[in-house]
Amino acid sequence: MKKALKKALFIDRDGTLIVEPPVDMQVDSLAKLEFVPGAISALKVLRGLDFELVMATNQDGLGTDSFPEEDFRIPQEKMLRTLAGEGVLFDDMLIDRTFESDGAPTRKPRTGMFGRYTGGGYDLAASYVVGDRATDILLARNLGARGILLAPPAEGLRTLEEAGAADACALITDSWSEIAEFIRRGERRAEIRRETRETQITVRLDLDGRGDFNGQISTGLRFLDHMLAQIAHHGGVALAVDARGDLDIDEHHTMEDVAITLGEAVDRALGAKAGIARYGFALPMDDCRALALLDFGGRIDFEWDASFRRERVGDVPTEMFRHFFHSFACAARCNLQISAHGDNDHHKAEAVFKAFARALRMAVAHIPFDYTVPSSKGVL
């Protein structure tokens, strides 16, 4: 499996994490140190997601007579100790010391001090810049990231429109809790492309069922299209699948690679898996009894107890149903157990997909206001 790119949250300091003094705009003493309401609680949530936390701040003239190093260091260290006591640690801190008049390439919104993140190891399109000024949103545009402006919505929109930066902003809010929830929900979606000599597959997925792409499913196998639509509907997810495969040879490569790509999309969309139910099971209807047991605990296992009398259901070989779900389990890094019994092979196959969909719906469900990893080990 191709190694996933890292993601980052680039977070401004003054006016975003801590209150910016209105008189001199400089936090140069402990008396001036005050956290923005809701910032610490939100950072605790964001720390549990699949992002690196990076503080990125302009500190005008730091180290000069106008802003001595010691005046900055004391409140800065106090701020970091307070955050660490709440379990919030920054992976990196980027501090530009120049004045705006210097026009330095390292000063936000320029990207000179972000070289570590622009070299290809980070998925900047899936990363965010959070700040209270238009320059932070312009930085997001320059990085190719998504911007979040911490400001009253009406006032913030006017500011961004004046700066010509409104198009680079994904959210304007004066609530840190809304920022945390927005980022968390945005992480529960993925787009995965897989290209081999036999197939070209694209899967788009949103675990919360949001997305105008839902239902755009085309694999070249009509019965598989029908079953994937059942996963979307009964799983409560938004799903789009575009598959081009060597069906002139047989169905194997297409079904296998669709399952692998779907599994990778689920695994990517779950991220750190904080706050999910983790387990799912279902017993659907029809004249067949089907059972699906699912655990996104990170340990791969697969059990299958279903047989078919017919060689094909529609245009799909029945032997491929087992292989489809086995491939999914390996790609999604989950434990999946499926059994089905009944007389009608069409109903049996459909019951299996519906049972799987319902199990998926239960397992990926987010428990409101719970951002813990569902494991006694603290990690999945």
Question: pLDDT for 139-197, tens place per residue?
Answer: 999 999 999 999 999 999 999 999 999 999 999 999 999 999 888 877 688 889 999 99
pLDDT, tens digit, 9 for 90 and up, residues 201-212 = 999 999 988 878
The per-residue pLDDT for 120 is 87
Taking residues 226-248, what's their average pLDDT? 96
Percent of all residues in the chain with a pLDDT value above 70, rounded to a whole number:
94
Range(s) of the chain covered by CATH 3.40.50.1000: 8-186
Fill in the DSSP letter of residue 298: S
Sign of the dihedral defined by the CA atoms of residues 95, 100, 102, 103, in that order = positive
Q: What is the pLDDT of the chain when averaged over all its residues?
A: 92
Three-state DSSP at 64 gives strand
Question: What number of CA atoms fall less than 13 Å from residue 16's CA on the CB side?
Answer: 24
Catalytic-role residue among 14, 96, 136, 295: 14
Per-residue pLDDT at 379 exceeds 80:
no
Pick from 379, 17, 365, 41: which is nearest to 180 by CA?
41
For the segment 89-107, the average pLDDT, to the nearest whole number, is: 97
Of 44, 41, 134, the C-alpha closest to 89 is 44
The one-character DSSP state at 59 is: -
* pLDDT over 90 (residue 55): yes
Regarding the domain delimited by 8-186, which CATH topology (the fold level of the hierarchy) does it fall under?
Answer: Rossmann fold (3.40.50)
The predicted structure's pLDDT at residue 48: 81
Pull the structure tokens for residue 239: 């799903």
In this predicted structure, the answer to whether residue 372 has a pLDDT above a threshold of 50 is yes
Residue 236 identity (one-letter amino acid): G
The answer, yes or no, to whether residue 274 has pLDDT greater than 90, is no
Tell which wins on pLDDT, 375 or 208.
Answer: 208
Q: What would the CATH number be for the domain defined by 190-364?
A: 3.30.230.40
Q: 14 an active-site residue? A: yes
pLDDT at 306 over 90: yes
pLDDT tier for residue 271 given thresholds of 50, 70 and 90: confident
Contacts of 62 (CB under 8 A, 6+ apart): 69, 72, 95, 97
- Considering the candidates 12, 96, 257, 267, report the single residue annotated as catalytic: 12
Active site residue 12: yes
More confident residue, 335 or 190: 335
Q: Evaluate if residue 302 carries a pLDDT over 50.
A: yes
- pTM for this structure? 0.69
Q: Where in the chain is the domain with CATH 3.30.230.40?
A: 190-364
State the pLDDT at residue 137. Answer: 97
Strands 301-305 and 316-317, by their bridges, are: unpaired
Q: Which two tokens stand for residue 102?
A: 């210097």
Is residue 20 within a helix (H) or strand (E), and if so which, with residue range?
none
16 and 150 Cβ atoms separated by less than 8 Å: yes
| pLDDT over 50 (residue 1) | no
